[in-house]
Amino acid sequence: MQRIKLTDVARAAGVHPGTASRALNPLTREQVSQATSRRVARAAQRLGYIPNTLARGLRTARSFIIGMVVPDVANPLFPPMVRGAEQVLSKAGYTLVLTDTDNDASTERRQIEQLRARGTDGFIVATARWRDPLLDEIAEAGVPAVLVNRNTSTGRLPYVGGDERTGIKQAVDHLVGLGHRHIAHLGGPQDTSTGRERAAAFRQATHQHGLPSTRGLIRACTSYTEAAGAAAAGRLVASGQEFTAVIAGNDLIAFGVLSVLGQAAISCPDQVSLIGFNDMPHLDKLAPPLTTVRLPLAEMGAQAARILLDKIEQSASDSPVTQSLLGVELVVRGSTAAPVPRFSNNSHALNAR
Amino acid sequence: MQRIKLTDVARAAGVHPGTASRALNPLTREQVSQATSRRVARAAQRLGYIPNTLARGLRTARSFIIGMVVPDVANPLFPPMVRGAEQVLSKAGYTLVLTDTDNDASTERRQIEQLRARGTDGFIVATARWRDPLLDEIAEAGVPAVLVNRNTSTGRLPYVGGDERTGIKQAVDHLVGLGHRHIAHLGGPQDTSTGRERAAAFRQATHQHGLPSTRGLIRACTSYTEAAGAAAAGRLVASGQEFTAVIAGNDLIAFGVLSVLGQAAISCPDQVSLIGFNDMPHLDKLAPPLTTVRLPLAEMGAQAARILLDKIEQSASDSPVTQSLLGVELVVRGSTAAPVPRFSNNSHALNAR
DNA sequence: GCAGGCTTCACAATCGATTGCGGAAATCAT
DNA sequence: ATGATTTCCGCAATCGATTGTGAAGCCTGC
């Protein structure tokens, strides 16, 4: 049994394949009389005709495929974005192809090349580095693409992300409100926009509150992983620096901090408060439940998809490159509490009043 | 600037496109002299030729696309399987297209139709229902497909899963070893193979151990979610049935149980022990850390991909339909402990000795 | 009743790569 | 040197759908 093709439908309806094509396409249907149009539609229906997207794509130079590139599907940050994008795209008739680069630049390049060979109509990229030659090439080549979650330094591509700056500010405000004055930031890698942005926002917020110098209290982790977070936390604790709270670059880094604190017999939140970022699922079940900044991940994915579709449909490059920041929300849970003054920083606390 | 096509390469190398095609394809390269083959290869290299996969697919009726269908990417059960499959497939030159059905049958049907229109070479399906007409059709149509994680009743498609039966047996053994005799099972939906299999294994294991009747202690949740788990746990607690341990259908259901126990001021593991299934990430950080059964998810995905590739490459249907069960492992953490005899079941405990 | 204008559809080229077929050139055997 | 093989490569059809061009058929208006 063969797949039904347009020729079969045309023969069944007693018309030329070209006519059948026009009858089936809503945009060209007006060029065909209603009677034949109906006849063709019925024949297609009856035979169970499914158009061959490959052949169509070859002729129209459109594949209705959107590629989405993420560093690691297993990172719970990404699935909600993928779902958000997928819903918008599939509603518009596009198919989302998800590829996982495993955080590897050469894999990423290979994947994107593969997808381009498939005539992919556009890309949603969640793997951007701060300096990213591959993305520069894509921008140069005029391939429709939207960045999500992470931005690049050049700002030549549209970007959809969370309002990191406000998120960090809320976190700092919250801690300061509880009475903390010695807050550390174990941020993400500085070759990602999120790592840079959050660190910068942290500096700004602590400065606004007139907190003591943050020198030595700001550290960058080598990656957004529990292991890297633990390593950085270990170094922080070993440094002997005084701190009563930590704002982690994301939730995974916070996990690393948590385990180091546990090993060092430092209680959270009694001795050190901890705030994560992203609001991964199930953080409320942790011991202690993690205070964190929630990003509208699904909405970010959906918005990125919408912007991309716009870009594709009106391929005119007249539209400016938009950078959208979506609102975030501090979710306060059990990992943050008022600091207990230790004798070593008692005087500081008194001075502050 | 246009994309380089085969004709361009051929012209640059001074040969006919057909010859260029043969020179570039490893399987037909022998039909071309080494000298021209090299010349063509160099021209392709120099011009940066990327073959158009659509055109190739149209002619060869091969798309090198594999569709993977999961109910919900955000469920941490699936990303590792996806990664496992992706690695095998991309190594073999295939592209994995992931689609999320959002647990909806009609969405699933639409997605699969879409993919078939793209000439998808095969499917990895993780959404199987116990009775699944869509999969029956696929088996009927001879589309290469492999089931992963969930099986169907018919057994007409290859299947790769975990050894659920042994996993449940280990869980029961562990609890019985701790002294439990009243164990409940809040299983998954009975229209999934995993829900059925785990419940059956539970019955068998408790029977082997000569435990008291499990009537009323085995309940099926309506879905593999925290909410459904909580609902079932609520009913179990409200029923007044005696139990000192619960084996949940999966980790999410265990989360629901945990929250109900918390609300009912029943301590875990002091009063009730709890075991999950799947070993989601970060379960070790819960309060209490959840004992669970670990499935080799990535390996399941990889194995499914390998079987699918086999099926595709030798399209001869001579190979039998294989059902592979991969080994599982009980991960003992803090949510299981010896039962504290209550006066109401003290006598039972004595009788048992 | 006929020119001019519409509508409706058939014809054929096209997208880019693959491949069966056959011819020219090169190699070999005698 | 000549006939028989083999090697190498060009020609053209093909995959299935889309689309520019033009030719019928029909209507309108003068």
For B124-138, write each residue's pLDDT tens digit: 999 999 999 999 999
Contact B82, B68 (CB under 8 A): yes
Tokens representing A247 are 């704002």
- Distance (Å) of CA B221 to CA A218, A285, B70, B210, B240: 47, 21, 20, 25, 18
- Whether B286 contacts chain A with CB within 8 A: yes
Q: Answer whether any strand D atom is within 7 A of the Cβ of A24.
A: yes
Contact A69, B74 (CB under 8 A): no
Tokens representing A182 are 């010695």
Residue of B100, B102, B137, B268 to mutate when probing chain A, most A C-beta within 10 A: B100
- Distance (Å) of CA A69 to CA A118, A233, B312: 15, 30, 27
Say how far A344 CA is from C23 C1', in Å: 96
Contact B312, B145 (CB under 8 A): no
- Which nucleotide is at minimal CA–C1' distance from B58? D15
> What residues in A contact B258, CB-CB < 8 Å?
285
Report d(CA B283, CA B302) in Å as an integer. 24
Map tokens 């701790």 to a residue.
B178
Query: Could you give the maximum distance between any two Cα atoms of chain A, in Å?
Result: 94
Contact check, Cβ <8 Å, B111/A90: yes
Question: The pTM is what?
Answer: 0.86
Outline where DSSP puts E strands in chain A.
Answer: 65-70, 95-100, 122-125, 145-148, 159-162, 183-187, 218-220, 245-248, 273-275, 292-294, 323-326, 329-331
Residue A170 confidence class, pLDDT cut points 50, 70, 90: very high
Map tokens 């129209």 to a residue.
A60
Report d(CA A279, CA A286) in Å as an integer. 12
Residue A349, pLDDT above cutoff 50: no
- Enumerate residues 6+ apart whose C-beta is below 8 A from A328: A162, A163, A164, A166, A167, A170, A293, A294, A295, A296
Q: Is A265 left (phi over 0), alpha (psi -120 to 50) or beta?
A: left
Residue B317, pLDDT above cutoff 60: no
* Residue A317: predicted pLDDT: 57
* Residue B344: predicted pLDDT: 45
Report d(CA B290, CA B303) in Å as an integer. 28
Report d(CA A315, CA A292) in Å as an integer. 39
Q: What proportions of chain A, in percent to the nearest 5, are helix, strand and coil?
A: 45, 15, 40
Tell me the per-residue pLDDT of A243-263, one tens digit each, with 9 for 90 and over. 999 999 999 999 999 999 999
Backbone angles phi, psi at A159, to 5 degrees: -140, 140
Give exposure, B91-108, as e/b (b: 16+ Cβ within 10 Å): eeebbbbbbbbbeeeebb
> What residues in A contact B282, CB-CB < 8 Å?
255, 282, 286
- Whether B123 contacts chain A with CB within 8 A: no
Contact check, Cβ <8 Å, B258/A285: yes
Mean pLDDT of B336-341: 88
Residue B353, pLDDT above cutoff 50: no
Tell me the per-residue pLDDT of A8-29, one tens digit each, with 9 for 90 and over. 999 999 999 999 999 999 988 9
> What residues in A contact B113, CB-CB < 8 Å?
50
Between positions 69 and 88 of B, the ones with CB within 8 A of A are 72-74, 76, 79-80, 82-83, 86
Tell me the per-residue pLDDT of A49-83, one tens digit each, with 9 for 90 and over. 999 989 999 999 888 899 999 999 889 999 999 99
Contact check, Cβ <8 Å, B79/A79: yes
A244 Cα distance to chain centroid: 30
Residue B283: DSSP 8-state: G
- Enumerate residues 6+ apart whose C-beta is below 8 A from B19: B10, B32, B36, B40
Do β-strands A329-331 and A292-294 pair in parallel, antiparallel, or remain unpaired? antiparallel
